[in-house]
């Protein structure tokens, strides 16, 4: 097994990122989001979403690559971490922590003293992961119509 490499995502990563996102969305959110919501996230819809994300002028995405395969991705802009997805088969291998730390370092380098993200409140494994990395709930919640599930905002003070 080759070492993990982080690099900025490029257009050629689109298919691999979309496939990774779909696996994570369909596996990790089962029981957290309604089955209809998961089913509504079709391959085409996910591909369009990640095309917009990768083409956006604002923000940046990093991919984690091992043995030539994209095994994780994170996206951020300004002081917000928008996405963090890791291949479900290798959760717990430190890839999520590595990606999240890299995003937070870039947020800090941009001059921000804190970073924020949204996580589904019922996603106990993700909430526990973020807490273990020093993130704390802000007390702010939202429910986006697209997902229909409560999200909580979490924040990390960057020191």
Question: What pLDDT does residue 159 have?
Answer: 77
**Which ranges constitute the DSSP H helices of the chain?**
14-28, 35-40, 43-55, 95-109, 124-132
pLDDT of residue 2: 81
pLDDT of residue 95: 96
Instruction: Determine the number of helices (DSSP H) and then strands (DSSP E) in the chain.
Output: 5, 7
Topology of domain 5-112 in CATH is Aminopeptidase (3.40.630)
Q: Residue 32: is it exposed, middle or buried by C-beta count within 10 angstroms (0-12/13-18/19+)?
A: middle
Give domain limits for the chain: 5-112
The series of mean pLDDT values per 10 residues for the chain, 159 residues long, is: 91 96 94 93 94 91 96 96 94 94 97 97 96 97 92 95
C-beta separation of 136 from 155 below 8 A: yes
Three-class SS state of 87: coil
**Residue 1, pLDDT score:** 66
């Amino acid at each position: 097994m080759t070492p993990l490499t982080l690099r900025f995502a490029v257009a050629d990563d689109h298919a691999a990122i979309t496939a990774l996102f779909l696996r994570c969305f369909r596996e990790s959110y089962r029981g957290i989001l309604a089955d209809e919501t998961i089913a509504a996230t079709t391959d085409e819809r996910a591909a369009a979403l990640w095309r917009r994300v990768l083409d956006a002028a604002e923000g940046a995405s990093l991919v984690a690559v091992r043995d030539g395969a994209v095994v994780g991705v994170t996206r951020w802009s300004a002081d917000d971490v928008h996405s963090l997805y890791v291949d479900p088969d290798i959760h717990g291998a430190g890839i999520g922590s590595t990606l999240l730390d890299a995003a937070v370092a870039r947020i800090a380098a941009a001059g921000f003293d804190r970073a924020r993200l949204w996580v589904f409140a019922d996603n106990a494994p993700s909430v526990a992961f973020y807490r273990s990395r020093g993130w704390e709930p802000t007390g702010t919640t939202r429910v986006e119509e697209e997902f229909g599930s409560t999200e909580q905002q979490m924040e990390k003070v960057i020191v």
